Structures are given as structure tokens and as C-alpha cells.
Chains A and B, each alone.
Chain A
Amino acid sequence: MSEKEQEIVVKIKRFSQDKGNYWQEYKVNVDRFTQMTEVLRRIKTEQDPSLSYRASCHMAVCGSCGMKINGEPRLACKTLALDIVKKYNSNVITLEPMDYFQPIKDLVVDLDDFYDRMFKVKPRLYPDKEVLEGKAEQRLKPEDQRELWKFEQCIWCGLCVSGCPSVRNDPEFLGPAAHAKGYRFLADPRDTIYEERLKILIDSSWRCTYCYQCFNVCPRDVEPVTTIKKTRAHTRFLKDRSAVAEIGEKHIEAIEESIKDSGMIKEAEVYLKTYGVIASLTDLIYAFQNGKLKYAFVKEMKVKNMDQIRKIMGD
């Protein structure tokens, strides 16, 4: 082992139909250039050919090597072994399959559910008929490309979905990656199926809980949660809204009105406008039972320099 090399202990959570889950340890010498996919390749070729994992491009483009590294959803190819040693101050690195998806063998998971969600949002451009027939061409303005570019970078790795709490609790939520892909086409001025895309995306967009896990784990900095926020801004253009989208829109309108009116969120007003009198009264009863009712009637302040707020908000 050269001076610049270091031994790491790799603990891998393995799985097979026969044995179920079990942990296995390997020791590997690495240097500062060694990616976790290279660590896995060495284990498989030099120590244990029975180990299964996916990896292809080794350059954060194909998205196949998604897994949990020390508990973090990451691409193994984009993760240097010694960076993890440094971050956690330990030469022991754990590898596990991504959460949420069914493991098939070791670090390989079943991505059928992920692909189903991605295809539900029609992940391709539907151009104008004349363009398809070669009679016209469609150009994208630089400002439109700048809006779309970030959201186009999704490599379908599934890490964001594996970390998303809404997906695992709400089967009607399409998931962050599908929303990133859906918004990328919803906002593309060359696309011709805007109404259809709205119908697919709006209800689901109101099922995101804004936990920012997708933003946190995305290896391509796509910010799926940002696309969900941007999609919600289109709700007003949809005529037949689901109950979830309807109440969500009301809630945001109430928040915006409250800030426009006072520079603050007046909780009581926002509550009433969103949920109506009966639901608000029910919640007041819970607040009373917990001794919190006194705070529901705290006199709300108002920003003194409302002129600044009005100028910012464009009134």
C-alpha cells in the first residue's frame, strides 16, 4: 500500500431471495481518486463475485449506481471514498440499497414503479404538427432555455423518490423526479399538450410536503421541489380541480392576501379562508384542550412601512 493509500472497511447490506437481508464486510485500499463504484468493482472482481450492484457510465450521467452511502442517498460514481471518510471521520463506510424500492439482489433494486411514474407525465416534447412535417421550425428563446435547462438535467436515478416521504405515504403523488420532468415540458413553449399536462400534474403537485429531501439528494442539482412550486402556480389555469388542488390554491391565496394586507400572515384569517368556519372551530377546540387557545387571539401586528411591501408585491 502506498503512503497515499488508505484502507477502508466497506459494510454492505446484502439481500437475496434465499438469505434475506444480511451485512457483509470487505476491506479495500483506496486513494483520493477512488470512486465508490471502483470500490465495488474491486470487491466484485477481487474478493466476491457474488456481489450485485448497478453501475455503468461512472460519470454521473446514466443514473444507475444510486444507493445509500452512510445513510445518504447518493450516486456511488459521484462519491469519492475518502471524501466520505473525511466527512464522517471514520474509515467504515456503509452501503445499502435505495429506500422505498424493492431490493432484487444486494444493491440492485426494482425500478419499475419509478419508471411507471416517469412515463405517466409523458416525458417527451409534443411539437407542433407543422414542425413534425418539416414545414416549420421552432426555436427556443435563450431566456426560455435558461428556465428549462436546470430541470432538464434529471438522469432518472431515483434517489429523490427513494428519499421522498410523500411518495411512500400517498400513492397519488407522482414523486419529485416525475414532477421535474413534467414541469420541464409544461414550461416549454414548443410543447402542444399544455392542458393535458396540467391535468396530469396539478393534483399531484399539491401532495408534495416541501421537505426538501429531493433538493438535498439530487446529484444533478435539479431541485425537483422548485418545479413542484412552479407547477402549482399554474393551478389557476385548470378548470376542473381536485379537492386537494382546490383547498391548496385557497390556502396560498389566503397567505398572499394576508401578506399584501398586513405584511404578515394573520393565522386566524388564513385558517378561516382556507378551511371555512366549521373546520377552524374544530381546530380551536383542539387548541383549547391543549391550553393553546390564548395564543389564537394574540393581537397581530402590521408592518409599519406597508408602502415598501406594496411596492414589492406590485400593487
Chain B
Amino acid sequence: MKVAYYPGCATHGLSKDVDIATKKVADVLGLELVEVEDWNCCGGGFLDERDEKVHTALNLRNLSNVEKMGLEKMVTPCSVCLQSHRLASTKYKENRDLRKEVDKKLKEANINYSGKATAEHIVWILVRDVGLEKIKSNVKKPLTGLKVGAYYGCQMLRPEQVMGFEPSFHPHSMEDLISVTGATPVSFPMQTACCGFPLMGSNPKIGLKLAYNVMNSAKSKEADIMVHPCSLCHLQLDVTQLKVKAEFNLPWTMPAIYITQLLGLSFGFSAEELGISKIAQQILKEKGVI
């Protein structure tokens, strides 16, 4: 199966390990990820507050490039990039005034968007299109004994009427993927709560508190580690993990790895090959997984 691949800026930056693991896992599963030609930033979840028209047009430029490649599904590992593109294409379809102005911009920039190409999340493609059975058949090293907190965050689920893959209050895709690796999925109260990343650019004190709430909730249900579906949650829960630990004077960590990093481990890749962070490796060693 061939799909257009939109990594997004963070996935090519500080969350590069998300990109590495996703490509390795896709390769094993026969999922051909073709990077969107000359893609641009989606606005990082923020640009629409400056200018809704510019934000919409920039996102449609990416989708038009997907159409030029002869494809209709554009998959991304980043929930913020996903939501940004889906909100843009929904607004473009539903808001006549906005559409007129965006069309003007697209015309000036010589961009054609027919409306066929849509953004999808890698988790959706894995669960729905690749299928859990096929993923299971590629598991070489079951992660037995590892308790994995299933974290969803915000933008892969909300708004439900725009995302539409699963019920936003009772999702199960992450638990399903954890189960096929042989690990034990752990549901916890804050699994669909915000990790606080969007607040780090204005009110980091509360941003870190939200991250702590998520980590503490997973800890309270005795998870060893969390998995998440977003390159920006990755910055908050993985790269910023030690900052949260220091801020709240915690005697423990709750490492968070990307969902394809967990799948990659069960497919037999090493933690180094998947770019898994030091604190996550430490827990995985303690649990005998690596």
C-alpha cells in the first residue's frame, strides 16, 4: 500500500526518532511512505491565530502536492499536523467566505486543490488499513511483561466531528496496537488529557503541570512506560521529561515513546536503531525488554 507521507517540522527536528521508527515499521509492514514533495509547515497549531486564510492555504498547498503525486491519503505521525490539515480542509469546505479568499491566494500562488486529498494519522492507517493481524504476524519479540500506558493526547481525537476515527471519550486504537506487541495495555484517567505542550510557548509553568498530571495518572495505574501518537507530545513527554521531573521534584520518571517505537521493538529492532531515549531505555532494560 502506497500513501503520501507528511512528517512535519518536529518529526524532522527534535522528534527525528519518530520519523526513524515510523519509516522502519512501515517498511516491515509493506506500507510504502512517499514523502510529500516540497511540503511546508502546517502552522504548528498556531498560525491560524495570526491569519486563518494563510493557515488554510498553506495546508491546502500540501494536500494539493499530494494530489499531484496521484495519491489521496496523506499520512502523518504528528497529531498537530493532522489536526491542522483536517481543520483547514473542513473550514475550506464549510465556510464560503473563507473559501473565496483562500481560492484567491491559491490562484495567485498557482496551486490547485480539488478536495480529494485528506490527512490521516499513522495510527489510523496501521489499525484500519494495515490491520492488527498483519502487524501481529510481524512481531518477532513479544514485549511480554511490559505494562504500557496508552496515551492519546488531544489532536488525534478532537474535535471528534472533524477527526472522526474513534470516539474521543472512549478511544481504543492505542490499546489495540499495544496488545498486538504482546505488552499489556494500561488505560488511565488522563489518557485523553492535554500534555501541556501548546502552553510551553506562553505559560510553561502550567504546561509542565499538565505534563505532570498525565505522567502521574499513568503512574497511578502502574504503567512502566507510556506510548503516544504525536511528535509534539514527544517533545513534551520525552524530551521535556527530565524538566518535569526536576520541576516537581519527582523520584520517578514515566518515559513516553512513540507508538511506532514500541511496534519497532516488537519487530526486533534495537532501542538504538529506533532512537529511543536514555530514560526509556533504562526502564526497558529493567523490565527485560531490551
- A210 and B106 CA atoms in complex are apart in Å by 27
> Does the CB pair B158–A212 fall under 8 Å?
yes
> Does the CB pair A312–B58 fall under 8 Å?
yes
- A169 and B15 CA atoms in complex are apart in Å by 27
Q: Is residue A165 contacting chain B, with contact meaning CB distance below 8 A?
A: yes
A277-308 near B? 1/0 per residue, CB < 8 Å: 00000010011011110011010110111011
Q: Is residue A264 contacting chain B, with contact meaning CB distance below 8 A?
A: yes
- A267 and B8 CA atoms in complex are apart in Å by 12
Contact partner, A207, options B97, B159, B206, Cβ 8 Å: B206
Contacts of B173 in A (CB 8 A): none
Q: What is the minimal beta-carbon distance from B125 to any residue of chain A, in angstroms?
A: 22
> Of all chain A residues, which has the CB nearest B241?
A290
B260-281 near A? 1/0 per residue, CB < 8 Å: 0000000000000001011101
> Does the CB pair B206–A287 fall under 8 Å?
no
Q: Is residue A209 contacting chain B, with contact meaning CB distance below 8 A?
A: yes
Contacts of A87 in B (CB 8 A): 167
Q: Is residue B242 contacting chain A, with contact meaning CB distance below 8 A?
A: yes
Contact partner, A309, options B13, B58, B243, Cβ 8 Å: B58
Contacts of B187 in A (CB 8 A): none
B197-234 near A? 1/0 per residue, CB < 8 Å: 01101110011011001000000000000000000000
- A71 and B16 CA atoms in complex are apart in Å by 36
> Does the CB pair B207–A267 fall under 8 Å?
no
- Report the contact-size class of chain B (Cβ under 8 Å from the partner): 35 or more
> Does the CB pair B43–A300 fall under 8 Å?
no
Knowing A216-B160, A259-B43, A305-B38 are in contact, say whether A209-B50 is a contact too (CB < 8 A): no
> Does the CB pair A311–B109 fall under 8 Å?
yes
> Of all chain B residues, which has the CB nearest A296?
B14
- A301 and B160 CA atoms in complex are apart in Å by 33
- A265 and B54 CA atoms in complex are apart in Å by 15
Q: Is residue B252 contacting chain A, with contact meaning CB distance below 8 A?
A: no
- A138 and B50 CA atoms in complex are apart in Å by 29
Q: Is residue B17 contacting chain A, with contact meaning CB distance below 8 A?
A: yes
Contact partner, B277, options A215, A232, A265, A292, Cβ 8 Å: A292
Contacts of B132 in A (CB 8 A): none
> Does the CB pair A170–B203 fall under 8 Å?
yes
Q: Is residue A256 contacting chain B, with contact meaning CB distance below 8 A?
A: yes
Q: Is residue B71 contacting chain A, with contact meaning CB distance below 8 A?
A: no
> Does the CB pair B202–A207 fall under 8 Å?
yes
Segment with Cβ contacts to B, from A34-42, A189-197, A241-249: A241-249
> Does the CB pair B277–A291 fall under 8 Å?
yes
> Of all chain A residues, which has the CB nearest B198?
A210
> Of all chain B residues, which has the CB nearest A245?
B202
- A206 and B203 CA atoms in complex are apart in Å by 7
Q: What is the minimal beta-carbon distance from A253 to any residue of chain B, in angstroms?
A: 9
Q: Is residue B48 contacting chain A, with contact meaning CB distance below 8 A?
A: yes
Q: Is residue A213 contacting chain B, with contact meaning CB distance below 8 A?
A: yes
Task: Name the prevailing secondary structure of the A interface residues.
Answer: helix
A148-166 near B? 1/0 per residue, CB < 8 Å: 0000000000000000011
Q: Is residue A95 contacting chain B, with contact meaning CB distance below 8 A?
A: no
Residues of A52-110 at the interface with B, using a CB-CB cut-off of 8 Å, are 70-72, 87-88
> Does the CB pair B16–A251 fall under 8 Å?
no
Contacts of B47 in A (CB 8 A): 255-256, 259
> Does the CB pair A165–B61 fall under 8 Å?
no
Residues of A104-149 at the interface with B, using a CB-CB cut-off of 8 Å, are 143, 146
Contacts of B38 in A (CB 8 A): 303-305
Q: What is the minimal beta-carbon distance from B141 to any residue of chain A, in angstroms?
A: 22
Knowing A165-B193, A170-B206, A300-B12 are in contact, say whether A311-B108 is a contact too (CB < 8 A): yes
Q: Is residue A238 contacting chain B, with contact meaning CB distance below 8 A?
A: no
Contacts of A311 in B (CB 8 A): 105, 108-109
Contact partner, B49, options A165, A229, A259, Cβ 8 Å: A229
> Of all chain A residues, which has the CB nearest B110?
A308
- A283 and B240 CA atoms in complex are apart in Å by 8
Contacts of A287 in B (CB 8 A): 14, 239
Q: Is residue A233 contacting chain B, with contact meaning CB distance below 8 A?
A: yes
Q: Is residue B41 contacting chain A, with contact meaning CB distance below 8 A?
A: yes
Q: Is residue A9 contacting chain B, with contact meaning CB distance below 8 A?
A: no
> Does the CB pair A229–B48 fall under 8 Å?
yes
Contacts of B279 in A (CB 8 A): 290
B residues at A contact (CB < 8 Å): 9-10, 12-17, 38-41, 43-50, 54, 57-58, 61, 83, 97, 105-106, 108-111, 154-155, 157-161, 167-170, 193-194, 196, 198-199, 201-203, 206-207, 209-210, 213, 238-243, 275, 277-279, 281
A residues at B contact (CB < 8 Å): 70-72, 87-88, 143, 146, 165-166, 169-170, 206-207, 209-213, 215-216, 229-230, 232-233, 244-245, 247-248, 251-252, 255-256, 258-259, 263-267, 274, 283, 286-287, 289-292, 295-296, 298, 300-301, 303-305, 307-309, 311-314
**26 A-B residue pairs with CB within 8 Å:** A70-B169, A72-B169, A88-B170, A165-B194, A170-B206, A207-B206, A209-B199, A209-B210, A216-B158, A230-B49, A247-B202, A258-B41, A259-B40, A259-B41, A259-B43, A265-B13, A265-B44, A287-B239, A289-B242, A290-B238, A292-B238, A295-B275, A298-B16, A300-B13, A309-B58, A309-B61
